[in-house]
Amino acid sequence: MRTDPFRRGILTAAVSGLALAAIPFRASALDLATARALIDQLVGEVNRIINSGETETQMFADFEKVFAKYADVPIIARSALGVAARQASAQQMTAFTTAFQGYLSRKYGRRFREFIGGKIEVTDAHPLNDNYEVVSTATLRGEAPFDLRWWVSSKSGRDLFYNIIIEGVNMLATERTEIGAMLDQNNGNIDALIKQLQTSG
Amino acid sequence: MLWPRAYVMAWRSGRPRPGTSELRTVQLMISRLFSPAAGRRLLPVALLAATALSACAPSKGPGVINDPYEKQNRENHAVNVALDSHLIKPASQAYGRVLPGPVRAGVSNFAGNLSLPSYVMNDLLQAKVGDAAQNTLRFAFNTVFGLGGIFDPAGALGLHAKSTDFGATLATWGVREGAYLEVVVLGPTTERDLAGTVVDAVTNPVMFLLPNVPRGYPIGVKVGSALGNRYKYNDLVDSVLHDSADSYAQGRLIYLEKRHYELGQKPPAANDPYEDPYAN
């Protein structure tokens, strides 16, 4: 039997259409290029801050703005709090997330300040399960370059980063350890933890 | 925590000078440890210890920290924190204030240059010919054009050190990591890395290449370099060691993650907090 090339074409189109439909919808919201562009933009802002000659206070304020703009703070905060987040009320989660944002901005802002005079550049990006990993290199004077990785996701509804990996060390994991230890210090009292976070970092 | 390299460097890049009362004995111990003759005597012992490690505590699966000696480790950690507050930090502050930046950089470069032959030896043991070539080239370049390694013209050309050690060699040979350990003065390590540190100390090629160099001299440079690092990364080390809610757990996590990264191990399956915000 002779196969009609036209019909075969339709069949192929239909099959590939089905295949496309099978790809989860959210994957189309963020692709490799968008993830990379997002971190490119973020890194550009960080580079501007660390070479601006601003005072420490100004820099911390700028870093917090960048953090709030590019990071999925609620998911990072929830992950850091771990299982305790299940017992927290909605109000406690809101207060915790706000306190955590300030704490993390100060803590990481302090570290990024050590980059003054240096430069961060995006070098690569690849899929990471159904999210993306964007690879960047930090160059500092008189030192071998650092490896900085950003995990980007659109699952919050916006393209945001939710983790930083510095030379293999995972921010979500270190903050989970730290916040867990702080909660233990406060005998599991989330309100006391929030209070402590407001002055930490 | 950020800049794990700096934090780990502050521990690993040298043996900080201990208290005055024990100073004499420790100096003696170290100089024995570093002398070529002692090296020949100790080498079989160290290698034996390293081989014995293949039988050490089995790992508990990906993502689970293997820390059966946690109680003892925490006691050692408390000693290390006290040692840092009372001795290493003040000494590093004095070191940093007395010596100007370029001199400190020179000491650090010189100590780094002296480590390169040991890297090359381990690169060869790991069959990493490219890294061996890069480290050899860097050593030759900085020794010749950097006045014996005081300056780092190779680094300016992008020719950086590919650091490695005998712990990494053991990992390449298939020796298991073993338990996490925190050792007094040496800081965070594992059973495998501690064996590696001992082997590196007794087999340092510099000691064989320069048998007539006064024994304390390369060690003095390393101590200076370690103090320089402690001074340079003061805020970072303070934040981990003195400001963390649980500095032991923080140091352990940073050490292990950084180490696995250096060894090129794939991290355990990436957690996706969107799927399970409570997963590690």
Contact B272 A85 (CB under 8 A): no
Rounded CA gap, A28 and A26, in Å? Answer: 5
* Helix, coil or strand: residue B187: strand
Take residue B59 and report the two structure tokens written for it. 């790992």
* Helix, coil or strand: residue B210: coil
CB B142 within 8 A of CB B113: yes
Residue in the structure block whose two tokens are 């921010």 = A171
Q: Which pTM value belongs to this model? A: 0.81
Question: Which residues of A fall within a CB distance of 8 Å from B152?
Answer: 142
* Helix, coil or strand: residue B188: strand
**Could you say which of B4, B243, B246 has the minimum Cβ distance to residue A177?**
B246
Take residue A96 and report the two structure tokens written for it. 């915790």
Q: What is the pLDDT of residue B35?
A: 47
- Residue A135, beta-bridge partner list: A124, A149
What is the CB neighbour count within 10 angstroms for residue A117?
10
Contact A184 B245 (CB under 8 A): yes
Residue of B111, B114, B110, B109 lying closest to B206 (CA atoms): B114
Classify strands A160-166 and A146-153 as parallel, antiparallel or unpaired.
antiparallel
**Could you say which of B160, B243, B274 has the minimum Cβ distance to residue A75?**
B274
Q: What is the pLDDT of residue B193?
A: 97
What single string gives the DSSP state of each residue in B97-111?
A: HHS-HHHHHHHHHHH
Cα angle at B79 between B73 and B80, to 5 degrees? 85
User: Residue-wise over B87-101: b if at least 16 C-beta within 10 A, else e?
Assistant: ebbebbeebbeebee
Residue type at position A153: S
Residue type at position B21: S
| Nearest CA distance, B245 vs chain A (angstrom) | 5
Rounded CA gap, A13 and A150, in Å? Answer: 37
| Nearest CA distance, A121 vs chain B (angstrom) | 16
| Helix/strand/coil percent split, chain B, to 5 | 65, 5, 30
Classify strands A160-166 and A169-170 as parallel, antiparallel or unpaired.
antiparallel
What single string gives the DSSP state of each residue in chain A?
A: -PPPHHHHHHHHHHHHHHHHHHS-GGGGGS-HHHHHHHHHHHHHHHHHHHTS---HHHHHHHHHHHHHHHB-HHHHHHHHHTTHHHHS-HHHHHHHHHHHHHHHHHHHHHHHHTTTT-EEEEEEEEEETTEEEEEEEEE-TTSPPEEEEEEEE-TTSS-EEEEEEETTEEHHHHHHHHHHHHHHHTTT-HHHHHHHHTT--
Which tens digit of pLDDT belongs to each residue from A51-78? 888 888 888 889 889 999 999 999 999 9
Take residue A55 and report the two structure tokens written for it. 């005072």
> Is the Cβ of A172 closer than 8 Å to some Cβ of chain B?
yes
pLDDT tens string, chain B, 280 residues long: the values are 344 555 555 554 433 333 333 344 444 444 444 444 444 555 555 555 555 554 455 555 556 789 999 999 999 999 999 999 999 999 999 999 999 999 999 999 999 999 999 999 999 999 999 999 999 999 999 999 999 999 999 998 989 999 999 999 999 999 999 999 999 999 999 999 999 999 998 888 887 777 666 667 778 888 999 999 999 889 889 989 999 999 999 999 999 999 999 999 877 666 678 877 655 4
Contact B2 A166 (CB under 8 A): yes
Which of A91-105, A173-187, B57-71, B229-243 shows the lowest mean pLDDT across its residues? B57-71
What ipTM is given for this predicted complex?
0.81
Question: Which residues of A fall within a CB distance of 8 Å from B267?
Answer: 168, 170
Question: Which residues of A fall within a CB distance of 8 Å from B239?
Answer: 107, 110
Mean pLDDT, range A156-176, rounded to an integer? 92
Take residue A67 and report the two structure tokens written for it. 């953090």
- Decide which of A166 and A28 is more confident: A166
Rounded CA gap, A41 and A24, in Å? Answer: 27
Q: What is the pLDDT of residue B192?
A: 97
Contact A142 B260 (CB under 8 A): no
Angle, helix A32-50 to helix A90-113, in steps of 10 degrees? 60
Question: Which residues of A fall within a CB distance of 8 Å from B251?
Answer: none
